[in-house]
Amino acid sequence: MNQGRMQKRMLRRETHSSRTGLSVATAVLLLAGFLWLGAECVLALMGRGPLVASPDAMATAIKDLPQAVQPAAMTAAGTAAAVLGAVLLVAAVKGGRRGRRAMHSERLALVVDDEAIAAAVSRQVRLAANLAPEQVSTTVGRRHARVSVRPTSGRPLDREALTQAAAREVASCRLARNLAADVSIAVEGAVGR
């Protein structure tokens, strides 16, 4: 595998979930089911009493299920199972993006946590506006870095300048896909300090 392909592969694997947790959980449940059913079969073959129910009893119970259980209960249980199945299906198909993204680098497969970008953007905006740390917070979404600023009472802020400060920090990261900076200034100010 050449350098570029390996790098892409590493980046992809680092920024997306492997779905290991969910598939291990499913596999463990499946394994427990297999082992239990297998044990019941063997016990029945040896003519011993069942753990919970013998295979024959289970087969008959499944056949008579519509008579034995109230229709409403069946609908509820079926819907629950269908929803669970849909969740697994969605997990299988969806991307599973983690809160990280790739940065440009020649030599490395370079990944940065969204949280680290957010902290850096917050800091630059705070320096540009001369505010206290708790007055600025940033959330990094898929395509935007949203900065919310609470100004000090009586000291208006220049939104344009703050957006520029945020955009400069984001651009300096040289992300594989740039983020748009988006600054919103709260109407209510904080008491000055």
Partner 1 sequence: MNNTNRALNRSFLALAGVVLAGTGILVAAAGLNADVRAGWTTIAGTALTAWQRLRETAPSPEPLGSWWAMAVPAVLLLGAIITIFWLSRQGGGRTRTAARQDDAELGDTAVDVSYLAAAVEAALEGNRAVVGSSLTAWRRRGSKDTARTSLRLTLQARRGASPREVADVAEELVSAIDALLGHRNDVLVRIGTGTRTKLARALRAG
Of residues 18 and 184, the one with the C-beta less far from partner 1: 18
x/- contact string, 154-193, with partner 1 (CB under 8 A)?
---------------x--xxx-------------------
Q: Does 53 bind partner 1 (CB under 8 A)?
A: no
Q: Which is nearer to partner 1, 87 or 180 (CB)?
A: 87
Pair of tokens at residue 188: 């209510």
Among 57, 127, 180, 186, binds partner 1 (CB under 8 A): 127
Looking at the Cβ atoms of 134 and 158, the one nearer to partner 1 is 134
Q: Which residue has the tokens 């073959």?
A: 45
From 8, 53, 60, 180, residue interacting with partner 1 (rule: CB under 8 A): 60
Tokens of 59: 């087969």
Number of residues that bind partner 1 (CB under 8 A): 83
Angle at 188 between CA 185 and CA 193, to 5 degrees: 95
Long-range contacts (CB closer than 8 Å, 24 or more residues apart) made by 135-139? 135/190, 138/166
Rounded-to-integer distance, Cα 113 and Cα 102, Å: 9
Distance between CA atoms of 24 and 26, rounded to whole angstroms? 5
CB of 191 vs partner 1, minimal distance in Å = 20
